[in-house]
Homo-oligomer: A and B are copies of this chain.
Amino acid sequence: MTVDLALRPSQRLRQAAAPIFHAVLEHPYLKKLAAGTLPRAVFREYVKQDWLYLIEFLRASAAIASRSPDAALMKVLLKRIECLVGMEHHFHHKHADELGLDFSSIDWEMNEANYAYTRHMLWAAHTGSTIEALGAMMPCPCVYIHVGDVLSNGPRRADRMYAEWIEFYGPGPLAERTRQLEAIFDELAARAGPDELARAEKNYVISSRYEWMFWDAPYRGRHWPV
């Protein structure tokens, strides 16, 4: 793959993961979600897994903030996670009753894809540099706003809950927040060495793969093979 050096560093990461972002959009889970034909049980399982994921995403974000050598950046990153702590305004919370889920009393466990994805993020957050850790963390918002953008521009959705999910990740504050995160990455990357950037890109590609697997697992009804 040829990489365009004129691109901003965050966009080089996106370019490296472009085939995976494409595969994500082609996955039957998202095709059916957009068409309103995704079985509710599959979506419900996804929401259950995603709740557990978001807790670890919060954990990884706090770790990255705390390990940032720059105090101003640490505060910016901590400010960003404040809205994640309660998740009161989040899609999951709003639809918990309708899906028959009680997030105050979790009685389910992570599936294989979720566990692998979050260990990758936590490993990067606890042992990598800020740049390497952001590389592992950024595909989640980047893939979601990409999906939200493409799907919200597609045909109208038959299913109200799926429509709201698409809207939640479509153009708006979440997309704006993600652009800010990429700007932070670009600023740090401008002062980083090539090995560190290569590791950040590798982490980004791997997290992008896990995004695909995250939807594939509930779609195929996969938990753990053993």
Contacts and interface: CB of A to CB of B under 8 A. Distances in A.
Interface of A: 20, 23, 55, 58-63, 65-67, 69, 71, 74-75, 78-79, 81-82, 85-86, 112, 115-116, 119-120, 122-123, 125-127, 129, 191-196, 199, 206, 209, 212-213, 216, 224-226
A118 to B, nearest CB: 9
A226 B209 contact: yes
- Stoichiometry, as copies per complex, reads 4
A75 B87 CA distance: 11
B126 A226 contact: no
Nearest to A70: B195
B67 A127 contact: yes
A59 B55 contact: no
B195 A193 contact: no
B126 A129 contact: no
A72 to B, nearest CB: 9
B74 A67 contact: no
A175 to B, nearest CB: 24
Given A127-B126, A225-B213, A194 B191 contact: yes
Contact of A195 (B75, B125, B191): B191
A189 B86 CA distance: 26
Q: Which of A79, A196, A216 has the most CB of B within 10 A?
A: A196
Given A112-B116, A209-B225, 19 more contacts: A58-B78, A59-B71, A60-B66, A61-B66, A62-B62, A62-B63, A62-B66, A62-B74, A69-B195, A75-B86, A78-B85, A115-B206, A116-B119, A122-B127, A129-B196, A196-B196, A209-B224, A213-B226, A216-B225
